[in-house]
Structure formats: C-alpha cells, structure tokens
Amino acid sequence: MSQKVRVRFAPSPTGPLHIGGVRTALFNYLFAKKHGGDFVLRIEDTDQNRFVEGAEEYIIKSLDWCGMPFDEGPGKNEKFGPYRQSERKHLYRQYADDLIASGNAYYAFDTAEQLDAERKAHEAEGKTFIYNWHNREKGHLINSLVLTPEETQAKIEAGDDYVIRFKSPQDENLILKDIIRGTIKIDTNILDDKVLFKSDGMPTYHLANIVDDHLMEITHVIRGEEWLPSLALHKLLYDAFGWDAPEFAHLPLILKPTGKGKLSKRDGDKLGFPVFPLEYTAPDGTVSRGYKEDGYFPEAVVNFLAFLGWNPGTEQEIFSLEQLVSDFELEKVHKAGARFDPDKTKWFNHHYMQQQLDLHLAEQFKTMQPELAEMDVNYIALAVGLIKERATFVSDFWNLSHFFFTTPTSFDEKASKKALKEGTEDVLNKVIELVNNTEDFTVENLQTNIKGWITDNEIGFGKVMMPLRLALVGALQGPDVFDIMYMIGKAETVKRIENLIKSIS
C-alpha cells in the first residue's frame, strides 16, 4: 500500500452506538493502526428527523472508553473538516449539479402521492414499482428526462418540490470487489434510481457519503453488511464523478445468541445482557444498560468484539488491543454472520479481572460498597487477591468477601446441619486454645498448630475445618480458612468461634 491508509467510522447520531457499531469502529481502528494510517470519525447527520441530542457525545465517549480514540474528527485535527455532515451542507449541492450536467442524474418532481399511486398500480398487476430505466422516460413520471429544459427550469423557478435522482445505467454488468467477499457481480437493471438530493436541501446518505469519502481521501471503507446493497450505487457514483473508488470491506452481521436473526437493540433487554457500550438514557428517560456500568473491563469488550467476525486462525483467544493491531487482517474476517455469545463475554471479563492489580480493583470495590468506606484500601486489596479468581465482576466481590470485613451475624442453616456434629463444641474450644497459643500469628503457624493437632489426635479434618469455616464465614464457602484467620486477626477469630459456640448451646 503506497498511499497512506485512511479509514473512517461514520455513524449517524440517531441514538446510542450499538455494540455492532462499536465492532465496526474497532475493525476500522485496527486496520488503520496496523497500517500506520488515520482513523477518522465522521458524523453522518444529514437525516434531521432522526437526529438525537447527545448521540455524538455518546459515540465519542464509547470510543474513548474502548481505548480507540479517533485521530481526526469533530474538534480534533480538523484538516479535512468539518466532520459533521450538517456543517458541510453547502458542499454537496455542487456535486449533485455536476452529475446532472454530465447526464448521470436528473431532477424528479413526482410527489409522494403520485409515487404512491404508481406503486399501487404496479401492485395491482402483481409487479413491484422501481423508479429506474423501466419507467423513468415513459411519460407518467415527471422528471427532467421527459420535460424540456425550459419546462424543468420553469418548475424549479415556480418553487415546485423536487429531488435529484441518480440515473442508473441500463444493461450493464458491474463487477464489484470486496476484500472480505471477493468479487460480486451485479446486473444494473435491478438498481433503482436512488435519490441523491432531497427536497429539504440536504443530500442523502449516498451522495454525502461518497463526496466526503473522496474529499477526506478515504482509502478503505469498512462497514457493516447492511451497506452491501449500496455498494453498486456507490461504485457507479465514483465512476460518474471520475474518481478512484476506495477499497471496500463489508463486515458480517452480528447474530442473536440463538444464531437466528440479527442482534437488535431490543435483544439486550429481552435476553438480559447489554447491547450498548455505555449506559444510555433516552430523551424519554428510558435507561438501557451498558457494558461499562455492568462491570465489564474495556479490554474484555474489545477482545470479544474482535472475535465477532474475525479470528487469528489459531487457538489463541486472549488479545490485547496492541496484539489485535499487530495480528488483525481484513482478509481473515469471515462472511458468515457472527453469533453473539454473552457467556463468552463473561469469560473474557473473568480473564481480564485476573490481570488487574488488586489495589486497582480494591479502589473500585471500595467506592461500590458502603461497608468499606472506612476500610484501609490495602487490606481490601489483600482480600480481593484471595477471592478474585472466583469473580467475573467487581460487583461479585462482596458476596465472596464480606467475612473479611464484617462478623457473620447468622449461620447458614444447611451448612450448620452439615458442619455441626456431636462434640463440635469441644473441638471449637480446643481451636480457640490453639489460636490463642499461636504467638506469631501467621498463616504458616496457624496451619502447623491446627493441622498438627488434628493429625496427632486422629480427628477427621472435616470435623474441625467445617465448623471453623462456618464460624468464620457464616457458611461453608470462601478461600482458605487459615488465610481468613490471618486476615481478620487473632481477637476477631476467637470472637467468631465463640459466637458459633454460643449459637450451638
């Protein structure tokens, strides 16, 4: 690649960025970074009716959270700016006019009612109405191909509403190329004459997108499969302008966990997992869950997203963003839809949890749990280190570790049945004695003293360890009992064993 790679992520600010959009951004980012190129953010807000306040900010925050900031975009390195299409409005008309002048586009004056009538008339005959070479010059559609230049001019001057349509060629076979899908052949006769410029004075997506990709010197267009049907028109537009087209790569759909159908924004709430990177509050106040707020690490989200459509061709599943940059190849992205697997996402989070510094996790844990407000963060970090291998989220920590911070106030019923036998009281009294006699209160010394006593007296381990655990934890869970005793200290250990004895007698 001799030319500098430039890719763009071009979302429409019509709401929060769905996880599929984040995947598109990620693949663009990876490709750009891999080739030392630029990752551009362009906001495609030509459809004023669907514009949602705050959506752009949400998109930018999501990219930042994932660790893939854009190089160029609104408010940043604006050398090809502006990057919001609404601020480039003045630019597009001239390109639509150029296409009219070159015979590649035309004015169409048909009203919505007239088009609707055409549609119905076709349906009545069992046909589908397509505005293209079939009928554009037959006389019943009103456009500049059938009107004289003077008539057209008169209509425009009279203020009649019009759109500008692309004149799709008849009887041509297009050969399109896609990096992921290979060669795609399209018969132009099936294409409709898409509107390029609307009556409200705004370009449509198709015109603005092509003009901007050209002006912003985009070399590779990487986007979702839903845009594949637009590829033919886009190629025709590049040809009509006489511009070199960028290369295209259409990413596979993301499928529901069942593998059937596309993952939708609504699936998250229905199936109980987030489909948005960050929590989102809609203008009407409804809140949608986000990966961040649900306790996912951005590294885990990036890693699972990378595997939605791509894999390295080896067994390796754990990839940092840097490793992805070096190993990612568009050629290795597959065509088939990628099934979204919420359990795998959790698996990645569990993995990245283990990589985090205990102190860092402890800081998060402390802010989440009011009981920890006064606790020393270093002590919390020690507790976290002992339990995190059982956790997927920081929000799991409290259930796994509360006994490091608070004295059990009750003893689990089932566990009590299992742990408390005849003679338990005597055993516990003996353990208290052993604990009290352990001068240098270390895990090793406790272990030697208590285990030694058990072996010397040929008492079953369970007979001692189960009630001991019950006393310390209130249940039969948790990490090593000697670690717990050491952590809570001698006095608290004795107090907890005494509490259990009291509850038995």
| 41 vs 85: CA distance, rounded Å | 11
Find tokens 């669907």 and name the residue: 50
Closest CA to 325 of 40, 10, 39: 39
Which C-beta is closer to ligand GLU: that of 46 or that of 369? 46
223 touching ligand GLU, by CB under 6 A: yes
Q: What is the nearest approach in angstroms of ligand GLU to the Cβ of residue 19?
A: 14
In the 8-state DSSP scheme, what is residue 24?
A: H
Nearer to ligand GLU, 10 or 481 (CB): 10
Site membership for ligand GLU, residue 73 (CB under 6 A):
no
How many CB atoms sit inside 10 A of residue 38's CB?
22
* Residue 179 beta carbon to ligand GLU: minimum distance, rounded to whole angstroms: 14
- List CB contacts of 119: < 8 A, sequence separation 6 or more: 129
Q: Give the residue with the Cβ less far from ligand GLU, 203 or 408.
A: 203
Q: What are the beta bridge partners of residue 165?
A: 106, 195
Residue list 175-214, contact with ligand GLU (CB under 6 A): 205, 209
**How crowded is the C-beta side of 74, counted as CA atoms within 13 Å?**
18
Give me the least distance between CB of 224 and ligand GLU, in Å please. Answer: 7
Distances in Å between the Cα of 502 and the Cα atoms of 144, 241, 288, 424, 471 are 96, 88, 48, 12, 11
β-bridge partners, 39: 7
Q: How far is the CB of 469 from ligand GLU (least distance, A)?
A: 55
DSSP state of 138: S
Asked if residue 12 binds ligand GLU (CB under 6 A), the reply is: yes
Number of H helices, E strands in the chain: 20, 13
Q: With CB under 6 A as the contact rule, which of the stretches 9-17, 151-159, 195-203, 468-476 interacts with ligand GLU?
A: 9-17
Give the HSE-up count for residue 398: Cα atoms under 13 Å, Cβ half-sphere. 10
* Cβ neighbours for 2, distance < 8 A, ≥ 6 positions apart: none
List the one residue from 5, 7, 11, 27 that touches ligand GLU (CB under 6 A): 11
Q: Which stretch binds ligand GLU (CB under 6 A): 6-14, 54-62, 304-312, 407-415?
A: 6-14
Annotate 366-428 with DSSP letters as a single string.
Answer: HHH-GGGTTS-HHHHHHHHHHHGGG-SSGGGHHHHHGGGTS--SS--HHHHHHH--TTHHHHH
Q: State the first-to-last Cα distance of the chain, in angstroms, to the nearest integer.
A: 81
* 366 is a contact residue toward ligand GLU (CB under 6 A): no
What are 133's two structure tokens? 């070479």
Alpha-carbon span 194 to 189, nearest angstrom: 13
Mask for 21-60, x = binds ligand GLU (CB under 6 A): -----------------------x----------------
Q: Site for ligand GLU (CB under 6 A): how many residues? A: 8
- Scanning 8-16, 184-192, 250-258, 480-488 for contacts with ligand GLU by CB under 6 A, the matching segment is 8-16
User: Which residue reads 């590829």 in tokens?
Assistant: 231
Q: Which one of 10-18, 176-184, 292-300, 455-463 is the stretch in contact with ligand GLU (CB under 6 A)?
A: 10-18
Contacts of 283 (CB under 8 A, 6+ apart): 52, 53
The answer to whether residues 40 and 80 touch, using CB atoms and an 8 Å cutoff, is: yes
Give 46 or 401: the residue with its C-beta nearer to ligand GLU.
46
Query: Which listed range, 4-12, 142-150, 275-283, 308-316, lies at the site for ligand GLU (CB under 6 A)?
Result: 4-12
- Considering the complex, state which of residue 71 and residue 160 has its C-beta at the smaller distance from ligand GLU: 71
Tell me the two tokens of residue 257. Answer: 């966990």
Q: What is the number of alpha carbons within 13 Å of residue 259 lying toward its C-beta?
A: 1
Pick 176 or 415: Cβ nearer ligand GLU: 176
Tell me the closest approach of the beta carbon of residue 27 to ligand GLU, in angstroms.
Answer: 11
Query: Could you give the CA distance from residue 13 to residue 53 in angstroms, rounded to a whole number?
Result: 8
Smallest separation (angstroms) from ligand GLU to the CB of 183? 20
Tell me how far, at minimum, the Cβ of 196 lies from ligand GLU, in Å: 15
Contact 231, 175 (CB under 8 A): no
Determine, following the binding rule CB under 6 A, whether residue 392 of this chain makes contact with ligand GLU: no
38 SS3 class: strand
Q: Which of 34, 76, 177, 265 is catalytic?
A: 265
Q: Which of 5, 6, 7, 10 binds ligand GLU (CB under 6 A)?
A: 10
Burial of 370 (0-12, 13-18, 19+ CB in 10 A): exposed
Phi, psi of 393 (to 5 degrees): -130, 155
The least CB distance from residue 10 to ligand GLU, in Å, is: 4
Nearer to ligand GLU, 18 or 366 (CB): 18
Helix %, strand %, coil % of the chain (to 5)? 50, 10, 40
- Smallest gap from Cβ 21 to ligand GLU, in A, equals 7
Residue found by looking up tokens 């604990």 in the block: 435
Q: How far is the CB of 192 from ligand GLU (least distance, A)?
A: 18
Q: Does 227 bind ligand GLU (CB under 6 A)?
A: yes
Give the residue with the Cβ less far from ligand GLU, 249 or 300: 249
By C-beta, is 209 or 416 nearer to ligand GLU? 209
418 is catalytic: no
Q: Which is nearer to ligand GLU, 227 or 405 (CB)?
A: 227
Q: Hey, which residues are catalytic here? A: 265
Q: Residue numbers of the site for ligand GLU (CB under 6 A)?
A: 10-12, 44, 205, 209, 223, 227
